[in-house]
């Protein structure tokens, strides 16, 4: 008799571990390519330097997919607000700056080419059924890893 698998979704697992696992999946698949300019670009106007992590493009793509899972349709401008930060200006008051829209656009275009994301009729982008299925599968794998780690401690 086969035990029925309980449904584990993206919202049921640790989000940091899920994002890392999804980024590793995107990198392993070989279908997502980092742009040539990836080592030169800043992710926000408030940043002083480019990202230190060499796999930042995969992590950003994974984060975008996770956000599309929980709230969609979402457009580029909304994502720039999410990935923005506060610019510290010394003795002058701080100002909030938006994230880099070109990076977000390129990530979403590659996810569209993979069939994980599609454009919505009313604007913005949504996850496809294939994208939702892949994210649920990876969330289940992350959950199983956490359960096995907890069982090993006992």
pTM of the complete model:
0.89
User: What are residue 117's DSSP bridge partners?
Assistant: 127
The pairs formed by 10-14 with CB atoms below 8 angstroms and a separation of 24 or more are 10/66, 10/69, 10/70, 10/135, 10/136, 10/139, 11/70, 12/139, 12/143, 13/139, 13/142, 13/143, 13/146, 14/142, 14/146
| Predicted confidence (pLDDT) per residue in 68-114, tens digit | 999 989 999 999 999 999 999 999 999 999 999 999 999 999 999 99
| Predicted confidence (pLDDT) per residue in 14-60, tens digit | 999 999 999 999 999 988 999 999 888 999 888 888 888 889 999 99
Closest to 22 in 3D by CA, of 137, 152, 107: 137
pLDDT at 1 over 60: no
Q: Is 45 helix (H, G, I), strand (E, B) or coil?
A: coil
| Residues 80/101, Cβ–Cβ less than 8 Å | yes
Instruction: Give the position of tokens 């100002």.
Output: 95
Around Cβ 68, how many Cβ atoms within 10 Å?
23
């Amino acid at each position: 008799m086969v035990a029925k698998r309980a449904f584990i979704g993206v919202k049921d697992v640790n989000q940091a571990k899920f994002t890392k696992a999804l980024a590793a999946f995107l990198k392993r698949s070989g279908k997502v390519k980092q742009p040539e300019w990836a080592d030169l670009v800043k992710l926000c106007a408030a940043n002083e330097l480019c990202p230190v992590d060499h796999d930042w493009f995969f992590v950003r793509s994974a984060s975008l997919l996770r956000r599309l899972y929980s709230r969609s349709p979402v457009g580029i401008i909304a994502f720039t607000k999410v990935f923005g930060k506060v610019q510290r200006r010394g003795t002058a008051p701080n100002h909030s700056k938006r994230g880099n829209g070109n990076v977000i656009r390129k990530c979403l275009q590659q996810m569209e080419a993979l069939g994980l994301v599609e454009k919505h009729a009313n604007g913005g982008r949504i996850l496809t059924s294939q994208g939702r299925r892949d994210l649920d599968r990876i969330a289940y794998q992350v959950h199983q890893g956490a359960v096995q780690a907890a069982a090993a401690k006992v």
